[in-house]
Amino acid sequence: MREKLAEEGGKPVRKDVLNFVPTAADLGKEEMDAVMQVLSSGKLSQLASEKVSEFEQAFAKYYGVDHAVAVSSGTTALHVALAAAGLGPSKSVILPPYTFMATANAVLHQNCVPVFADVDPATYTLDPEDLEKTVTKKTGAVVPVHILGQPADMEAITEVAKRHKLAVVEDCAQANGAEYKGKKVGSFGDCSCFSFYLNKHMTTGGEGGMMITNDGELAKKARSIANHGRVEVSPYPDVPAHNVYTCIGYNYRMTALQAAMGLVQLRRLDKFIEKRRKNADYLTKRIKRIRGLRPAFVQKDVKHVYWVYGALVDDEELGVTRDRFRKALLAEGVNGEGYCPIPVHLQVFFRKKQGYGDTKFPFESPWYKEQTVYKKGLCPKAEKLSSQDLLLPVYQTLTEKDLKDVVTALEKVANNAEKLRD
């Protein structure tokens, strides 16, 4: 006798809803003490404290790179990276449509044209073959996204980029600590960007980001752009450096409070990842036995760090759409969502090319004369994936009961799939 679904009046698996990402940061006494120490000093800003520089050095050491530039968010890290790489209105930037809007917004912030290449449906990451087909004479950079904690195929992507002389800006927002063929993601591109938002692997107080690179000149430019375009050393004997500006800049600085928390969280990062991977193994072993569901795929020679667990609803086998499945799952007390139900290239403002003010800039401009069309069918693999993926919780603060509840709810809904069909 199958247990009645909560939607039909049955008892839900759990009363409180378990979200697919954490709604509170994993903080302890050490983080509290670090923040209080900065508060007690009164030196709260990056310009008044050495704490941000300390965090940058620790982060660069963790990744084995020469330079790290702390900023206010993952989005601003991407913007700073593209700006430092010298990209502008005459160039396009290739990215996958299966990503968070911030990846595309950063391209638009630098007045470049976003161009989309399809994804590998197994890994959910940028397909190197489609990247190759998408490159034109206007392409200036590619942004591979290590999505959900799964590394992109950096060997193939960097080979294409090198041949076409493209800048490579890695989006590591969801893959802090992940590895590709024994080397950490973020160490393959010209520069790489990280997010420390509340629900990421580690946080710096709800917001925060980092750009890393081995290119000293790129780091210097990035640091200037993030600080209003100021120079580090004044070329004038009687004018202080903070009064000299050499480029368009922004206030993207990280605070000392954020850096203090980040230093502690960075020391805990590997343990966070270890627990997430253990939780993911638990889910994988059980989800593979549930009809109509596919567990998260992990490509060979990578260390997947599971920002979330990316399962898949096989709507043809189950006879139920992902959206209908997740609705029933939510009633059971587990909030699983589609990551990108509307791929970026199909968002309304992309399809209509709604630019700044009442213009179509930067989508259309005198500096970029190629025609770019955003429409259904442009990236069919990403579009199909966006209708089938199901994000599930895997973060380190989950208990064994939480994980068991996730599996129980999935089994219950899948076993009653015929009741969900129209």
**CATH number of the domain residue 99 falls in:** 3.40.640.10
Sign of torsion over alpha carbons 409, 411, 416, 420: positive
Domain of 142?
Answer: 29-267
Residues 263 and 216 occupy one common structural domain: yes
What is the rounded distance in angstroms from the CA atom of residue 5 to the CA atom of residue 332? 8
Identify the sign of the CA torsion 260, 263, 268, 270. positive
Q: Is residue 188 part of a domain?
A: yes
Same domain, 192 and 305: no
Sign of the torsion formed by the C-alpha atoms of 245, 247, 248 and 254: negative
Do both 108 and 156 map to the same domain?
Answer: yes
Residue 107's nearest CA partner among 99, 115, 118 is 115
The answer to whether 172 and 193 have CB atoms below 8 angstroms apart is: yes
Q: Are residues 280 and 406 in the same domain?
A: yes
- Co-location of 42 and 120 in the same domain: yes
**213, 241, 267 - which closes a domain:** 267
pLDDT number for residue 1? 56
Question: Judging by DSSP bridges, how do beta strands 389-392 and 67-71 pair with one another?
Answer: unpaired
Task: Single out the residue in 267, 286, 321 at which a domain terminates.
Answer: 267
Q: What is the pLDDT of residue 421?
A: 87
Q: Which two tokens stand for residue 154?
A: 């950096």
CATH number at residue 273: 3.90.1150.10
Confirm if 355 and 372 have CB atoms less than 8 A apart. Answer: no
Answer with the one of 236, 267, 298 that is the final residue of a domain: 267
Residue 293 lies in a domain: yes
Claim to verify: residue 256 and residue 239 sit in the same structural domain: yes
Strands 92-95 and 113-116: parallel
Residue by residue, pLDDT tens for the chain (422 residues) are: 578 999 999 999 999 999 999 999 999 999 999 999 999 999 999 999 999 999 999 999 999 999 999 999 999 999 999 999 999 999 999 999 999 999 999 999 999 999 999 999 999 999 999 999 999 999 999 999 999 999 999 999 999 999 999 999 999 999 999 999 999 999 999 999 999 999 999 999 999 999 999 999 999 999 999 999 999 888 999 999 899 999 999 999 999 999 999 999 999 999 999 999 999 999 999 999 999 999 999 999 999 999 999 999 999 999 999 999 999 999 999 999 999 999 999 999 999 999 999 999 999 999 999 999 999 999 999 999 999 999 999 999 999 999 999 999 999 999 999 999 86
In degrees rounded to 5, what are phi and psi of residue 344?
Answer: -55, -40
Give yes or no for a contact between 125 and 96, defined as CB atoms under 8 angstroms apart. yes
Non-local (6+) Cβ contacts of 50 within 8 A are: none
H or E segment to which residue 310 belongs: strand 309-313
pTM: 0.97
pLDDT at 398: 98
pLDDT of residue 74: 98
Q: Does 353 reside within a domain? A: no
Number of domains in the chain: 2
Q: Is there a single domain that holds both residue 176 and residue 71?
A: yes
Run of H or E residues at 216: helix 216-225
Residue 35 is predicted with a pLDDT of 98
